[in-house]
């Protein structure tokens, strides 16, 4: 596409909102493919079983995706810089178990399920602890990738193992469970008909969207991911920005760990095992490029919903649970293949 001659610049104050609509249809299809796919799935599952679109089931799906969805918001920042974070599930578990320990004031399971532990430090301290642990974990990993030039894949693969081990060490392998209502409310409560985890998830999605679209920091994240060398030569602090996305990811891992513990009324040492795959899948299905610089939180929300709807729909129709895993795998590959196809067509 060549640029359009514009001899009379005066008439064009600012932009012409319709100029960009000339984009070819493949580009448009590429941009809206996840939405279209999501709608198609919803229609199919609704046709198979009208219960699928009942209010209760809708909130079911949302509640199911809220934890991995939170992580996926953080992962969007990471992947936008062409990075990856495999440690999210482990970091979530570590943050969760620390939060539980802080809430109960003990590292061992008292087996007194449902009782209020008076020796604890309260729910706010627990939240703070979870988020602090998460962000510190992210900071260590981010600094390792930028300062020592270790690929993030390797650093966070190490984190995947190390944080899981730390979790097991912390609680000696067992769960820490049985919290007071102020704690569990964060995972089990509702405001009106809407589960609180869903509100947290969607609320932070909106915040993240605003950060990425409308702040200087967000613009820098896209720039660093799109072309790190150009970003450096434009005076951006590439190392700091790259490190920061892992801290953001850590924040969401911490928050997710706390919410999950609250929802289950138990912080499990094995919580979040394998989450990294679902989380990365949500981001990638949502159209964020693994090569960095392109994508959005909106896409990630769609991607999370898509996976949630797929699993829920299959469960609702009594499909063999093992088939779910297979179908998610296929969807990931199709989504990336489609994305690659669209990009190769666009560059012609």
The footprint of other proteins (CB under 8 A) covers 1-6, 9, 13-17, 19-20, 22, 214-217, 219-220, 222-223, 226-227, 229-237, 293-294, 347
Question: Is the distance from CB of 109 to CB of 291 less than 8 angstroms?
Answer: no
Residue with tokens 């449902």: 114
Which of 15, 89, 13, 27 shows the shortest CA–CA distance to 348? 27
User: What is the widest separation between alpha-carbon atoms in the chain?
Assistant: 78
Q: Which is nearer to other proteins, 153 or 217 (CB)?
A: 217
Q: Which is nearer to other proteins, 68 or 300 (CB)?
A: 300
How far apart are CB 295 and other proteins at their closest, in Å? 10
Judged on CB neighbours under 10 Å (0-12, 13-18, 19+), 321 is exposed
Q: Which is nearer to other proteins, 66 or 288 (CB)?
A: 288
Residue with tokens 């493919």: 33
The token duo for 196 is: 């609180």
How far apart are CB 8 and other proteins at their closest, in Å? 11
How far apart are CB 82 and other proteins at their closest, in Å? 12
Distance CA 336, CA 334 (A): 6
Q: Which is nearer to other proteins, 272 or 293 (CB)?
A: 293
Q: Which is nearer to other proteins, 175 or 292 (CB)?
A: 292
Distance CA 187, CA 265 (A): 8
Q: Which is nearer to other proteins, 15 or 118 (CB)?
A: 15
How far apart are CB 31 and other proteins at their closest, in Å? 12
Q: Which is nearer to other proteins, 107 or 232 (CB)?
A: 232
Helix (H, G, I), strand (E, B) or coil at 205: helix
Chain centroid offset of residue 161 CA: 20
How far apart are CB 307 and other proteins at their closest, in Å? 25
The torsion angle over the Cα atoms of residues 71, 73, 74 and 78, rounded to 10 degrees, is 120
Q: Which is nearer to other proteins, 172 or 234 (CB)?
A: 234
How far apart are CB 30 and other proteins at their closest, in Å? 12
Distance CA 169, CA 172 (A): 5
How far apart are CB 226 and other proteins at their closest, in Å? 4
How far apart are CB 12 and other proteins at their closest, in Å? 8
Q: Residues with Cβ < 8 Å from 234, sequence gap 6 or more?
A: 223
Angle at alpha carbon of residue 64, lines to 39 and 296, rounded to 5°: 55
Distance CA 328, CA 305 (A): 12
């Amino acid at each position: 596409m060549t640029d359009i001659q514009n001899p009379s610049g005066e008439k064009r104050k600012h932009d012409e909102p319709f100029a960009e609509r000339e984009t070819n249809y493949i580009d448009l299809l590429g941009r809206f493919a996840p939405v279209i796919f999501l709608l198609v799935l919803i229609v199919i599952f609704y046709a198979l079983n009208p219960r699928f679109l009942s209010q209760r089931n809708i909130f079911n799906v949302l509640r199911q995706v809220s934890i991995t969805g939170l992580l996926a918001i953080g992962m969007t920042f990471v992947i936008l810089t062409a990075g990856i974070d495999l440690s999210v599930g482990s970091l979530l578990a570590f943050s969760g178990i620390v939060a539980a320990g802080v809430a109960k004031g003990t590292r061992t399971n008292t087996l007194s399920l449902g009782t209020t532990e008076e020796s604890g430090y309260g729910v706010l301290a627990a939240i703070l602890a979870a988020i602090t642990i998460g962000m510190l974990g992210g900071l260590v990993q981010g600094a390792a990738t930028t300062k020592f030039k270790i690929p993030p894949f390797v650093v966070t693969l190490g984190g995947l193992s190390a944080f899981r081990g730390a979790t097991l060490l912390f609680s000696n392998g067992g769960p820490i469970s049985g919290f007071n209502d102020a704690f569990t409310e964060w995972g089990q409560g509702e405001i009106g008909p809407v589960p609180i985890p869903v509100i947290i998830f969607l609320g932070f999605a909106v915040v993240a969207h605003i950060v990425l679209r409308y702040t200087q920091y967000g613009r820098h994240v896209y720039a660093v991911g799109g072309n790190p060398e150009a970003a450096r030569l434009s005076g951006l602090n590439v190392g700091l920005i790259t490190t920061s996305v892992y801290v953001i990811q850590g924040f969401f891992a911490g928050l997710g760990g706390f919410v999950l513990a609250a929802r289950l009324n138990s912080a499990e040492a094995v919580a979040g095992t394998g989450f990294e795959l679902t989380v990365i899948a949500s981001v990638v299905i949502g159209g964020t490029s693994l090569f960095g610089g392109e994508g959005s939180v909106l896409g990630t929300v769609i991607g999370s919903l898509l996976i949630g709807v797929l699993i829920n729909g299959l469960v609702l129709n009594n499909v063999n649970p093992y088939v779910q895993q297979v179908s998610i795998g296929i969807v990931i590959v199709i989504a990336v293949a489609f994305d690659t196809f669209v990009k190769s067509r666009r560059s012609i």
